[in-house]
Chain A
């Protein structure tokens, strides 16, 4: 039999196939990013407790009613973009010097010695509990406390100076909305809070390390470095974002 020459495969329709695939991907995918405010929900409490008394100066209540009107600490805000400035004031007023006369949260200044003392104290307490065979949750609680103190120690080491300024532990920003408040307003309040916290941390990061907070976070996301972690922890301790979202009444 004579040898038959192999025919080349016709690749002319390759482009068509590729186009089909391309169009399929164009239709089924989206370009836009998913951006959101990530918040945590408090754990459900099984045992009913009496609410803890909080001083008025420690609360920054941002309220929005059914007509989408805003009120911050009893004052009506017609322009929501002013809220972030108010939040800055809430954090900054007493940062350097405590002044009891104004209505903003006070700061505590913890020295390295106090932190060391507390670490030792909590450590011994934890050991004590373990020896006594206390409830597991109690021991765990002590250990988380210990961890917090160690974190503070690291923060102060990084910050330098003689003490660690901390806003009052009860200082919080609370969002109080009503049933029919639109989501747009809710998102706006969240934006303003985020904006303020970002500004505070960014300024501090610039001052301490000449680095922007956004850059720091991006670096941490990319490399998971210990140094970035320590810096972010410090900023978190200096300007904690304690946001309480109050469930609206029916």
Chain B
């Protein structure tokens, strides 16, 4: 009865996908610009503490100017008992006993010094000004943080940052 009659089966035209690469590239560039590279995958688990009115460390050029160290419970639970108070320190993915632990002494100081010596020449700030960011688990005992602080003081690295997640209030 209808005026327009479908004459038999008509094939659906395929969707033109020639602009798909463009779209995907756009997405790709967005993510390349909007994100920063993960420094490393810490071998200790860290649940950050929260705080507000923090300083944003992102402007420090892709994090390479900031040295990160992680303090938390080791992911390998069997090893936890080896460490002081059950917390381990992760320096560039090498798990260390906490500062005055059984295995190493001055691990943090040595690590910081090595890091500083290996900095490329374009970074001119003296060791006192190079930020060391401590990412500690919220349950970590503060005593350990002060142990780290003391070791940094020993090598004259005098700027420390206590990492927290900003709750934005």
A residues with a Cβ closer than 8 A to B are 11-12, 14-15, 17-19, 21-22, 25-26, 28-44, 64, 177-188, 190-191, 194-195, 198, 221, 245, 247-248, 250
- Cα A21 to Cα B71 in complex, Å, equals 32
In the assembled complex, B79 has its CB within 8 A of some CB on chain A:
no
Is the Cβ of A29 less than 8 Å from the Cβ of B143?
Answer: no
Is the Cβ of A35 less than 8 Å from the Cβ of B141?
Answer: no
Which residues from B are CB-within-8-Å of A179?
141-143
In the assembled complex, B125 has its CB within 8 A of some CB on chain A:
no
Which residues from A are CB-within-8-Å of B162?
36-37, 39, 186-187, 190
- Cα A190 to Cα B156 in complex, Å, equals 23
- Cα A188 to Cα B51 in complex, Å, equals 6
Q: Can you list 25 A-B pairs with a CB-CB distance of less than 8 A?
A: A14-B21, A15-B17, A18-B21, A25-B35, A29-B35, A33-B58, A35-B166, A36-B133, A40-B159, A40-B160, A43-B153, A44-B153, A177-B142, A178-B142, A179-B141, A180-B141, A181-B142, A183-B71, A183-B137, A191-B51, A194-B54, A198-B53, A245-B149, A247-B150, A248-B146
- Cα A28 to Cα B133 in complex, Å, equals 21
Who on chain B is nearest to A199 by CB?
B53
Interface of chain A, helix or strand or loop or mixed?
Answer: mixed
Is the Cβ of B51 less than 8 Å from the Cβ of A37?
Answer: yes
Interface of chain B, helix or strand or loop or mixed?
Answer: mixed
- Cα A14 to Cα B21 in complex, Å, equals 6
Select A195's contact among B17, B18, B37, B52, beta carbons within 8 Å. Answer: B52
Which residues from B are CB-within-8-Å of A190?
51, 162, 164
- Cα A11 to Cα B21 in complex, Å, equals 9
Select A29's contact among B37, B57, B133, beta carbons within 8 Å. Answer: B37
- Cα A180 to Cα B139 in complex, Å, equals 9
Which residues from A are CB-within-8-Å of B156?
43-44
Among A11, A186, A194, A250, chain B packs the most CB atoms within 10 A around the CB of: A186
Select A34's contact among B17, B57, B158, beta carbons within 8 Å. Answer: B57
Who on chain A is nearest to B159 by CB?
A40
Which residues from A are CB-within-8-Å of B25?
18
